[in-house]
Structure 1
Amino acid sequence: MSSVPKDTPWNVHRLPRAEGKSFLVTGGNAGIGYFVAEQLAGTGATVVLGSRDTAKADAAIASIGSRVPGAKVKHLRLDLADLASLESSVAALELDRLDAVVLNAGVALDNPPRRETKAGHELMFATNHLGHFALTHWLTPLLMASPASRIVTTGSFAAKSERLDLDDLQSTHDYRPKRSYGRSKLAQMLFALELDRRLRAAGSTTLSVIVHPGGALDSLTPARPPVHTRTTGERLSHLPLGLLVQGKDAAAWPAVRATLDPNVCGGQMWSPRVFGLRGTPRTEPLWNHLVDTTTAARLWAASCELTGTRPTFTSPTRLDETDSRTAGSAE
């Protein structure tokens, strides 16, 4: 993925060059995704911001361009909540290969009522998990065309205390916004690990990696007007919190490392070094419920059905055999 030799110490402020590479960052127009895009743009790679809001994407591109001389950044209109639009969005990339996708975009609702997409899916589950699942399906040919490509999935601490209800994945019967958000992020993380198992079984060189950003506050995040602004008062009042958490620029470091570092392996989880909340990125042991392969396989099957897509990494015959073995182990 990069020119840095293996075993070279990682420096978040001195990233390896990646000229000629192409990276897609979903939700790259704001928040942590913006800083992932800005940092990747500094490597010389072409960075595509996946966003449904053209005006916000244009502002992000202008901001990155003002800080990264010669930055190659462009916008892809991408609405993860609209599953039917994703095939044409990927076609609009007009690329023959993709070196990495950072599945970063997400929506978090704080209050009822429960909201649905046009297709009738619960909005957070649809955007955070199903949209990224289907997007991965459509991106697979481009990722397979690039040796050692990466699929980097952004998880969350909100998923650590949650468990999936496989009989109510979309919170139809018992909707609680914070719990539904945590479960949607857990679904993403289980998907990333099941994806890595399937890539390995297919003999693919593409890696699937989980990252989580730790604690990230706007008040500790450097200003990037008009993408992000903060007052001096906000910054000073929250400085003590910097002992525990960090800004969104630092929260982007795990995803950037997972995208670029040749020492990263599939199936790993990268997070901030200090209690998983702040600091430079390092690997973290998988949480106990993330290694539940039965739940992950059943979620994969349900996601195929709900999205009408089926990410494939090998010949249909071999995939059918793999699916049969997986289904058998899930019974």
Structure 2
Amino acid sequence: MSSAPQSPRWDVHRLPHARGRAFLVTGGNAGIGYFVAEQLAGTGATVVLGSRDRAKAEAALAAIGARVPDARVRHVPLDLADLASLPASVDALGLDRLDAVVHNAGVALDHPPRRETADGHELMFATNHLGHFALTHYLAPLLTATPGSRIVTTGSFAAKSERLDLDDLQSTHDYQPKRAYARSKLAQMLFALELDRRLRVGGSTTLSVLVHPGGALDSLTPSRPPVHVRTTGERLSRLPLGLVVQGKDAAAWPAVRAVLDPGVRGGEMLSPRAFGLRGTPRVEPLWSHLSDTRTAARLWAASRDLVGADPAFTAPTGSGRTKGSATGVGV
């Protein structure tokens, strides 16, 4: 008896070639985002680092260039907390198509006081969720012009035990930094899944995929000077933790697979294989509260009202778009 051919097992160390494709990684200058960018650059693709800090971005470009011969990497200024700046950032990409964006950038505050952006939004909710929501809106023409494009959103294990307060999305009352961070990441995750539902209803070929990186420590992360330097002492002192969590290089694997693996489907969540904390990436069943479509729809409506934009993907018309037209999505 013959059986249907199976897709080859995904190998994080043998990534497929992606020359001719273009990827944007928000926050690609440091942490997990840096390793997402480095690994994608190794496929031959053009990788754009979206970062508000030019000096850190240039350091990341140098580090990637030192490890990936002939890397096609560059930087565009991107400040997700400044909504008015996002159209210019998308225009600065200089692209007429985009194969994937990895919504990775984020901010985590450990202590009060509560901080707001110039738009009056709580900083973590604004950067982690609202900024990516609005950025998706402005990137829609580029993604629509690319059949099979992907929007990869990075969630967090911190969101697993949280629930949104739809009456206080921006933590105006009883502000607790760690809770506010976890809720901002939960908002991102609900957005990713609601986005995929809307893409399917609209008949779009663009996929929205959710990932979470598991547990990632600097002390288990290989050195990438000048972006990250790990001392021998740090490595040895945290070595036992490597049985439970991992470095940020491995934490990048779910996002990289979500971008590159042709077998990935929209609405899936990829996470580390061992208890969602470490190991190679696999598709994980959605956490129960991530399937709450009513809350996700209400969050979408509130986000749309807060940023004044509504990510919408329609079939491209004509022969395609030209550079500089990426801000032309109606709201």
1:329 alignment partner in structure 2? none
1:6 CA drift (Å): 7.3
Query: Which residue does the alignment assign to 2:300?
Result: 300
User: What whole-Å deviation, never above 9, does each CA across 1:140-191 have from its counterpart, x for those lacking one?
Assistant: 0000000100000000011001000000000001200000000000000000
CA distance in 1 between partners of 2:90 and 2:301 (Å): 23
Unmatched 5+ stretches in structure 1? 316-331
Find the counterpart in structure 2 of residue 104 from structure 1.
104
Task: Give distance in 1, aligned partners of 2:229 and 2:73.
Answer: 21
Paired with 1:90 and 1:6, the residues of 2 have a C-alpha distance of 38
The SS at the match of 2:246 is coil
Counterpart residue number, 2:135: 135
Q: Report the CA distance between 1:289 and its aligned residue.
A: 0.4
Equivalent AA in structure 1 for residue 293 of structure 2 = T
Cα distance in 2 for residues equivalent to 1:246 and 1:20: 31
SS at match of 1:75: strand
Shift of 1:295: 0.3
1:55 and 2:71 are equivalent in the alignment: no
1:167 aligns with 2:167: yes
Aligned 1:27-106 pairs, distance under 5 A? 27-106=27-106
Whole-angstrom CA distance in 2 between matches of 1:6 and 1:202: 30
Percentage of matched positions with identical amino acids: 81
Displacement, 1:314? Answer: 2.9
Aligned equivalent of 1:328: none
CA distance in 1, matches of 2:218, 2:258: 23
**1:230, distance to aligned residue in structure 2 (A):** 1.3
| 2:205 maps to 1:205 | yes
State the distance in 1 between where 2:149 and 2:301 align: 24
The 5 Å alignment of 1:135-284 reads 135-284=135-284
SS of structure 1 residue aligned to 2:75: strand
Once the two structures are TM-superposed, the CA of residue 67 in structure 1 deviates from its matched residue by 0.3
Q: Deviations over 1:302-327 (max 9, x none)?
A: 00000010111238xxxxxxxxxxxx
Q: Partners of 1:313 and 1:23 in 2: how far apart?
A: 18
1:313 matched residue in structure 2:
313
Secondary structure of 2:161's aligned partner: coil
The letter of the residue matching 2:55 is: A
Equivalent residue of 2:216, what SS? coil
SS at match of 1:160: helix
Match of 1:323 in 2: none
Amino acid at match of 1:19: R
Q: Which amino acid in structure 2 is aligned with residue 92 of structure 1?
A: A
CA contact (8 A) 1:29 1:57 kept: yes
TM-score, length-normalised on structure 2?
0.93
Rounded Cα–Cα distance in structure 2 between residues aligned with 1:88 and 1:232: 43
Partner amino acid, structure 2, of 1:129: H
Q: Is the 8 A contact 1:20 1:46 kept in 2?
A: yes
What residue identity is the alignment partner of 2:265? C
Counterpart-to-counterpart distance in 2, 1:174 and 1:256 = 37
Distance 1:67 1:91 in 2: 29
Structure 2 gap ranges (5+): 316-331
CA–CA separation in structure 1 for the residues paired with 2:311 and 2:27: 22
Q: CA deviation at 1:8?
A: 1.6
Would you say the 8 A contact 1:6–1:262 is kept in 2? no
Q: Quick one: which amino acid aligns to residue 292 of structure 2?
A: D
Instruction: Give the TM-score taking structure 1 as reference length.
Output: 0.93
Q: Look up the match of 1:326.
A: none
CA RMSD for the aligned pairs? 0.9
Which runs of structure 2 are paired with 1:10-21 in the superposition (5 Å)?
10-21=10-21
Spell out structure 1 runs of 4+ moving beyond 4 A: none
Aligned to 1:48, the other structure's residue is in SS state strand
Partner of 2:321: none
CA contact (8 A) 2:144 2:314 kept: no
CA distance in 2, matches of 1:58, 1:8: 36
Q: Return the letter of the residue paired with 1:218.
A: D
Counterpart CA distance in 1 for 2:94 and 2:243 is 44
Aligned length: 311
Instruction: Give a deviation string over 1:37-77, Cα, whole Å, max 9, x none.
Output: 00000000000000000000000000000000000000010
Output the CA distance in 1 between the equivalents of 2:311 and 2:111: 33
Q: Distance in 1 between matches of 2:238 and 2:117?
A: 37
Q: Secondary structure at the match of 2:29?
A: coil
Give the Cα–Cα distance (whole angstroms) in 1 for the partners of residues 239 and 314 of structure 2: 51
Q: Which has the higher contact order (CA 8 A, sep 6+)?
A: 2
